[in-house]
Structure 1
Amino acid sequence: MGSQIAVPVKETFFISHGSPMLSIDDSLPARHFLKCFKQKVFTQKPNSILVISGHWETSEPTVSCITGLNDTIYDFYGFPEQMYQLKYQAPGAPKLAKRVKELLKSSGFNRVHEDNNRGLDHGAWVPLMLMYPEADIPVCQLSVQPEKDGTHHFNIGKALALLKEEGVLIVGSGSATHNMRALRDTAGVASWAMDFDNWLKESLVNGRYEDVNNYMTKAPCAKIAHPWPDHLYPLHVAMGAAGENAKAELIHHSWSNHALSYASYKFESQPK
C-alpha cells in the first residue's frame, strides 16, 4: 500500500471505543490500554490501516478514498469543548481503498462504492489518536450495512483477508455492548450487559464464530445489548479477516456508565 516493503500482519483487532470521552478522560482504563497499544499489543508498524467503524452506515459497502489528509469528523454532541479542538490528520490511503474495492468485488460484492470526501469519524480517530498519536500511517475507513446481518460482515472480512499479507492492519471499531439509552452514572454493571458480554467472550475464545455471526438468536439479551447492530458488525469484519481458524483473545476489558463494555479482542491467524 506504500513504498515500503510489506511485512505481513498476523492479527486483526476489534476495539470497543465506547464513549467519545475516551479522547480526554484519563479515568477510563480503556484509554490507557489504547495508549500502550503499539508498545504492548501490536509492536509492528503497519503500512496502512483499514478501520471498519460502527459510525459509518451505508446500504452498500463504501470505502473512503482520500488523497490528502483525512479530516476529523466530530459526530457527537454535548461534550466538552476541548474535544472539538482535537484533530487527527492521518494521511488518506487511496491505494488501499482501491485494493479494498477490488478484493470485495472479486469476492462477489458487486456494488462497492468510494467516497472521496469523507474524513474519519470518532469511531476511527478517537482510538487511533491514542494508538498511533503521530498520525503518520495512512488510514481509510470501510462502512457497515445495518440492514444486513453478521454473516454478511464476516464475509466482507474474509474477502479482505489478503490485506494482512500486504502489511495492512485491519481494525474493527465498535462496542461489545451498545445501548446508549441504558447508560447510567451508577456503580455496578447491568445484568443483561454482563450476560451478553460474557457470552460474546466465551463464544469468541472458544471459536464459535458461527454463533457470533448469528448472535441475535444465539446470545442472551442480544436486543437490549445491541438495539441496533452497527457497533457489533465491525467485530464480524475483523473476525472474518483473520481467517476461519483464527484464535481470538480478549486483550482488554473494562466497563463504564453501568452498561458500556470496552471489551477488545485480537484475532490471530493460525498456520494452515
Structure 2
Amino acid sequence: MTRMPVLFIGHGSPMNAIEDNAWSRAWAQLGRDLPRPKAVLMVSAHWETMGGTALSASERPETIHDFGGFPQALFDVQYRAPGDPALAQRAAELLAPQRTVQHPTRGLDHGAWSVLAPMYPDADVPVVQLSIDRGQPNAWHYEAGRKLAALRDEGVLIIGSGDIVHNLRAVNFRTGETPDWAPRFNEAAKALITAGDHQPLIDWESLGPDAALSINSAEHYLPLLYVLGAQGKDEPVSFFADDVFAAISMTGVQVG
C-alpha cells in the first residue's frame, strides 16, 4: 500500500466550503492529485477537550454548523461522509497509554468539512476526528503525531486543519489590512518547517512577540504539531495555498 502523505490545511473562513476561490481550488486539486485514502483522520482546531483525547466513533457523523453570522447557504451544507469506528479504535491503540474516549455521536465540525467538501465533494471517504486535549503540553501533540504516523502505511490520510497565523482580534474586518507581524511569522514558521527544525515550532512561546500575536490562543496552531510529528526522517515538505489574509494564514503544508 502506498504511504499516504500528511497535510496541514489553513482553513480560514467556513465560507471557503462553498466559495470558488484560490484556496478551495487548491484543496480540490489535492483531492485529485493525492493517492485516494482509505479514510481521513482529522485533527481540527474546532474540537478541544480537557483531561483526555476523544475520537469520533459515529458511523454516520452529522454536519456541525459551529458558527454564526454567515449566510443561510452555509448552514444548509450537509457533508455526509461516513465515519469509521474501527479507525477510531486503531488511533486510540496507537495513542496508548494516553486516555482516549470513543465519542459515539460526535459529528464533523467546520474545520473538517469546510476543507473536505472541496477535496472529496462526493463525501465518500470515511472521516474520524481527533480532539485536541488542551490539558497536554505542546510536545505531547507533536508526539501524538509521531505515534499516529503508522496510519500512513494503512491508507489513512492524516490532516491537521487550523491556521499557522490566527488572531481574529487583530483582524480589521473593515479594511482587511494585514499587520506586518502576520506574514513575518508565517515566513519564519515556513523556514523552520523547510529546515526540519521542529523544536522551535513545538516551543513556539520562545519565538518572540510575532509568535505570541500570530498563535494567540493556539487552538488553530496545534494541529500543525501533529502533522510535523508524523513527518519521517528527511521526508520532503511543500507548501500550497500559501497566502496570508489579514491576521489569518491560509498556508498549507504537505509532508511526503
Determine if the TM-score, normalized by the shorter chain, exceeds 0.5.
yes
Matched position secondary structure for 1:176: coil
Spell out, residue by residue over 1:151-178, the C-alpha distance to the aligned partner (whole angstroms, 9 max, x if none): 1101001111110111100000011111
Deviation at 1:138, TM superposition (A): 0.7
Aligned residues between the structures: 254
Counterpart among 56, 63, 82 of residue 64 in structure 1 = 56
Query: Any idea what the Cα deviations from partners look like across 1:56-80, whole Å, max 9, x if unmatched?
Result: 000111111012x220000010001
1:102 paired with 2:93, answer yes
CA contact (8 A) 2:139 2:202 kept: yes
Q: Secondary structure at the match of 1:242?
A: coil
CA offsets 1:162-212 (integer angstroms, 9 cap, x no match): 101111000000111111111124254211111211111101011111111
When normalised by structure 1's length, the TM-score is: 0.89
Write the distance in 1 (CA, Å) between the matches of 2:176 and 2:69.
23
Question: Structure 1 residues 247 and 216, CA, compared in 2 at 3 Å: closer, same or farther?
Answer: farther
Question: 2:6 & 2:123 partners in 1: Cα distance?
Answer: 19
* Letter matched to residue 228 of structure 1: S
Do 2:185 and 2:210's aligned partners in 1 also have CA atoms closer than 8 Å?
yes
Identity of aligned residues (%): 35
Paired AA for residue 33 in structure 1:
A
Contact 2:54 2:131 in 1 (8 A): yes
Map of 1:124 onto structure 2: 112
Q: Quick check: 1:32 aligned with 2:25? A: yes
2:211: which partner in 1?
A: 222
**Deviation per residue, 1:74-111 (Å, 9 max, x gap):** 00100011100001010001110000011111xx32x1
Aligned equivalents of 1:10, 1:85: Cα separation in 2: 32
Instruction: Please identify, of 160-169 and 219-228, the stretch whose mean Cα deviation from structure 2 is larger.
Output: 219-228
Unaligned runs of 5+ in 1: 1-6
Counterpart in 2 of 1:243?
232
Q: What secondary structure sits across from 1:160 in the alignment?
A: helix
1:8-27 correspondence to structure 2 within 5 Å: 8-26=2-20
Match for 1:90: what amino acid? A
Q: 1:74 to 1:25 in 2, by over 3 A?
A: same
Report SS of the residue matched to 1:142: strand
The answer to whether structure 1 residue 254 and structure 2 residue 246 are counterparts is no
C-alpha change, 1:220 and 1:246, in structure 2 (3 Å) is farther
Q: Which amino acid aligns with 1:251?
A: F
Deviations 1:8-47 (A, max 9, x none): 3241010010111112233x4211111221224x1x1111
The 10-residue stretch of structure 1 (235-244 or 135-144) with the greater mean CA deviation from structure 2: 235-244
CA shift, 1:220, in A, is 4.7
Specify the code of the residue in structure 1 equivalent to 2:141.
H
8 Å Cα contact 1:9/1:169 also seen in 2: no
Give 3-state SS (helix, strand or coil) of 1:54's partner. strand
**Separation of aligned partners in 2, 1:150 and 1:168:** 24
When normalised by structure 2's length, the TM-score is 0.94
* RMSD of aligned Cα (Å): 1.4
CA drift at 1:259: 1.5
- Say yes or no: does 1:173 pair with 2:181: no
- Which runs of at least 4 in structure 1 moved beyond 3 Å after TM superposition? none
2:46 aligns with one of 43, 50, 55: 55
- For structure 2, list consecutive stretches of 5 or more residues without a partner in the other structure: none
C-alpha contact (below 8 Å) 1:195/1:220 kept by paired residues: no
Mapping of residues 185-196 of structure 1, within 5 Å: 185=173, 186=175, 188-196=177-185
1:225-268 superposed Cα distances (whole Å, 9 cap, x missing partner): 12111111111011112234433221221233x22110000112
SS at match of 1:235: helix
